[in-house]
Amino acid sequence: MLKAAFAGAALLCATTLSYAHGFTVGDLTIQHPWARATAPAAKNAGAFMLIKTTKDDQLVKVDSDIAEKTELHEMKMADGVMKMSPIASLPVTVAAPAKLAPGGYHVMLLGLKRPLVAGEKFPLKLTFAKGGVVEVQVKVEDMTYQPKDDAHSGH
Protein backbone atom coordinates (compact mmCIF):
# COMPACT_ATOMS: atom_id res chain seq x y z
CA MET A 1 0.00 0.00 0.00
CA LEU A 2 2.69 2.43 1.11
CA LYS A 3 4.83 1.22 -1.79
CA ALA A 4 2.02 1.92 -4.24
CA ALA A 5 1.58 5.40 -2.81
CA PHE A 6 5.28 6.10 -3.24
CA ALA A 7 5.19 4.83 -6.81
CA GLY A 8 2.19 7.02 -7.46
CA ALA A 9 3.95 10.04 -6.00
CA ALA A 10 7.06 9.32 -8.06
CA LEU A 11 4.94 9.08 -11.20
CA LEU A 12 3.25 12.36 -10.38
CA CYS A 13 6.63 14.03 -9.90
CA ALA A 14 7.88 12.68 -13.22
CA THR A 15 4.76 13.93 -14.97
CA THR A 16 5.10 17.36 -13.40
CA LEU A 17 8.78 17.45 -14.35
CA SER A 18 8.17 16.83 -18.02
CA TYR A 19 6.00 19.94 -18.15
CA ALA A 20 8.27 21.94 -15.88
CA HIS A 21 10.07 23.69 -18.72
CA GLY A 22 7.23 25.94 -19.81
CA PHE A 23 6.19 29.57 -19.40
CA THR A 24 2.66 30.84 -18.95
CA VAL A 25 1.91 34.55 -19.17
CA GLY A 26 -1.70 35.66 -19.46
CA ASP A 27 -3.36 33.64 -22.22
CA LEU A 28 -0.10 32.33 -23.62
CA THR A 29 1.82 29.19 -22.74
CA ILE A 30 5.23 28.52 -24.25
CA GLN A 31 6.29 24.89 -23.94
CA HIS A 32 9.85 23.61 -24.06
CA PRO A 33 11.71 26.42 -25.82
CA TRP A 34 14.91 24.72 -26.95
CA ALA A 35 17.92 25.08 -29.23
CA ARG A 36 20.69 22.71 -30.19
CA ALA A 37 24.19 23.17 -28.87
CA THR A 38 26.46 24.62 -31.53
CA ALA A 39 30.04 23.98 -32.60
CA PRO A 40 32.28 26.58 -30.92
CA ALA A 41 32.79 28.57 -34.11
CA ALA A 42 29.33 28.13 -35.68
CA LYS A 43 27.57 31.39 -36.47
CA ASN A 44 23.86 30.55 -36.53
CA ALA A 45 21.35 28.47 -34.65
CA GLY A 46 17.62 27.85 -34.54
CA ALA A 47 15.31 27.90 -31.53
CA PHE A 48 12.11 25.87 -31.34
CA MET A 49 9.03 25.73 -29.07
CA LEU A 50 5.30 25.16 -28.91
CA ILE A 51 3.09 28.21 -28.27
CA LYS A 52 -0.46 27.67 -27.01
CA THR A 53 -3.06 30.30 -26.28
CA THR A 54 -6.55 30.67 -24.89
CA LYS A 55 -7.16 33.77 -27.03
CA ASP A 56 -6.20 34.12 -30.73
CA ASP A 57 -3.00 36.11 -31.09
CA GLN A 58 0.06 36.59 -33.29
CA LEU A 59 3.78 36.34 -32.66
CA VAL A 60 5.15 39.50 -34.26
CA LYS A 61 8.71 39.92 -32.99
CA VAL A 62 11.57 37.93 -31.50
CA ASP A 63 14.63 39.35 -29.69
CA SER A 64 17.68 37.95 -27.97
CA ASP A 65 21.03 39.20 -26.68
CA ILE A 66 22.86 36.03 -27.63
CA ALA A 67 22.86 36.80 -31.37
CA GLU A 68 23.41 39.93 -33.40
CA LYS A 69 20.17 39.38 -35.25
CA THR A 70 17.09 37.43 -34.20
CA GLU A 71 14.42 36.66 -36.78
CA LEU A 72 11.29 34.59 -37.20
CA HIS A 73 11.88 32.09 -40.02
CA GLU A 74 9.95 29.67 -42.13
CA MET A 75 11.41 26.59 -43.84
CA LYS A 76 9.96 25.42 -47.11
CA MET A 77 10.97 22.58 -49.37
CA ALA A 78 11.24 23.51 -53.05
CA ASP A 79 12.62 20.97 -55.54
CA GLY A 80 14.49 19.11 -52.85
CA VAL A 81 16.08 22.30 -51.51
CA MET A 82 15.19 23.49 -48.04
CA LYS A 83 14.70 27.26 -48.25
CA MET A 84 14.63 29.46 -45.21
CA SER A 85 13.10 32.92 -45.21
CA PRO A 86 12.07 35.56 -42.65
CA ILE A 87 8.36 36.01 -41.98
CA ALA A 88 6.67 39.07 -40.46
CA SER A 89 4.39 37.24 -38.06
CA LEU A 90 3.10 33.85 -37.02
CA PRO A 91 -0.53 33.26 -36.00
CA VAL A 92 -1.19 31.54 -32.68
CA THR A 93 -4.80 30.47 -32.32
CA VAL A 94 -6.85 28.55 -29.81
CA ALA A 95 -7.50 25.92 -32.48
CA ALA A 96 -3.94 25.79 -33.83
CA PRO A 97 -1.00 26.32 -31.50
CA ALA A 98 2.14 27.70 -33.16
CA LYS A 99 4.61 24.89 -33.61
CA LEU A 100 8.20 25.96 -34.02
CA ALA A 101 9.93 22.70 -34.93
CA PRO A 102 12.59 21.35 -37.30
CA GLY A 103 11.34 21.45 -40.87
CA GLY A 104 8.84 24.23 -40.18
CA TYR A 105 9.12 27.51 -38.28
CA HIS A 106 11.99 28.56 -36.05
CA VAL A 107 13.51 31.52 -34.30
CA MET A 108 16.70 32.19 -36.23
CA LEU A 109 19.72 33.34 -34.27
CA LEU A 110 22.14 35.00 -36.69
CA GLY A 111 25.65 35.87 -35.61
CA LEU A 112 25.90 34.07 -32.28
CA LYS A 113 27.97 36.08 -29.80
CA ARG A 114 28.94 32.92 -27.97
CA PRO A 115 28.42 29.23 -28.68
CA LEU A 116 25.34 27.50 -27.30
CA VAL A 117 26.47 25.00 -24.68
CA ALA A 118 24.30 21.99 -23.78
CA GLY A 119 22.66 22.34 -20.37
CA GLU A 120 22.74 26.14 -20.40
CA LYS A 121 19.80 28.48 -20.90
CA PHE A 122 19.52 31.87 -22.56
CA PRO A 123 16.72 34.44 -22.53
CA LEU A 124 14.52 35.06 -25.56
CA LYS A 125 11.88 37.78 -25.83
CA LEU A 126 8.72 37.02 -27.76
CA THR A 127 6.39 39.89 -28.64
CA PHE A 128 2.74 39.11 -29.33
CA ALA A 129 0.24 41.47 -31.00
CA LYS A 130 -2.18 41.21 -28.07
CA GLY A 131 -0.30 39.37 -25.34
CA GLY A 132 2.66 41.76 -25.25
CA VAL A 133 6.19 40.68 -24.40
CA VAL A 134 6.88 37.24 -22.96
CA GLU A 135 10.41 36.38 -21.91
CA VAL A 136 11.34 32.70 -21.93
CA GLN A 137 14.50 30.79 -21.08
CA VAL A 138 15.62 28.69 -24.03
CA LYS A 139 17.12 25.39 -22.94
CA VAL A 140 20.21 24.32 -24.88
CA GLU A 141 19.97 20.62 -25.69
CA ASP A 142 22.76 18.36 -26.98
CA MET A 143 23.97 18.95 -30.51
CA THR A 144 22.52 15.55 -31.40
CA TYR A 145 19.13 16.16 -29.77
CA GLN A 146 16.03 15.00 -31.66
CA PRO A 147 12.63 16.06 -30.37
CA LYS A 148 10.61 12.90 -29.82
CA ASP A 149 7.00 13.96 -30.05
CA ASP A 150 7.23 16.66 -32.68
CA ALA A 151 10.16 15.52 -34.82
CA HIS A 152 8.43 15.88 -38.17
CA SER A 153 5.54 18.09 -37.28
CA GLY A 154 6.73 20.85 -39.55
CA HIS A 155 5.59 19.06 -42.70
Partner 1 sequence: MTVYMRCLLSLFSLLAAALLLSACAKKLTFQGSDISDSQIGQNFTLQDQHGKPRQLSDFQGKVVVLFFGYTSCPDVCPTTLAELRTSMQQLGDAAKEVQVLFVSVDPERDTPQLLAQYVPAFNPSFIGLTGSKAQIDETVKAFRAVYQKQGNGPHYTVDHTAGTYLIDRNGQTRVLVNYGAGAAVFTHDIRQLLEQ
Binding site for partner 1 (CB under 8 A): 36, 39-46, 68-69, 73, 75, 77, 80-85, 102-103, 106, 108-111, 143-146, 151-152, 154-155
CA distances from 110 to 63, 91, 95, 113 (A): 11, 23, 31, 9
Contact partner, 135, from partner 1, Cu ion, none, Cβ < 5-8 Å per class: none
Torsion, Cα 8 14 20 26, to 10 degrees, reads: -30
- Figure out which of the listed residues 9, 10, 84, 87 binds Cu ion, where binding follows CB under 5 A: 84
Least separation in angstroms between residue 84's CB and partner 1 is: 6
User: Quick one: which segment of 33-41, 69-77, 95-103, 117-125 binds Cu ion (CB under 5 A)?
Assistant: 69-77
Count, residues near Cu ion per rule CB under 5 A: 3
For Cu ion, the closer CB: 7 or 42: 42
According to DSSP, the β-strands at 57-63 and 90-92 are antiparallel
User: Quick one: which segment of 13-21, 33-41, 79-87, 133-141 binds Cu ion (CB under 5 A)?
Assistant: 79-87
> For residues 136 and 63, what is the distance between their CA atoms, to the nearest angstrom?
11
Estimate to the nearest angstrom the gap between the alpha carbon of 12 and the chain centroid. Answer: 25
Write b or e for each residue in 74-105: b if 16 or more Cβ atoms lie within 10 A of its Cβ, otherwise e: ebeeeeeeeeeeeeeebebeeeeebbbbbebb
For partner 1, the closer CB: 135 or 142: 142
- Figure out which of the listed residues 32, 36, 73, 99 binds Cu ion, where binding follows CB under 5 A: 73
Binding residues for Cu ion (CB under 5 A)? 73, 84, 108
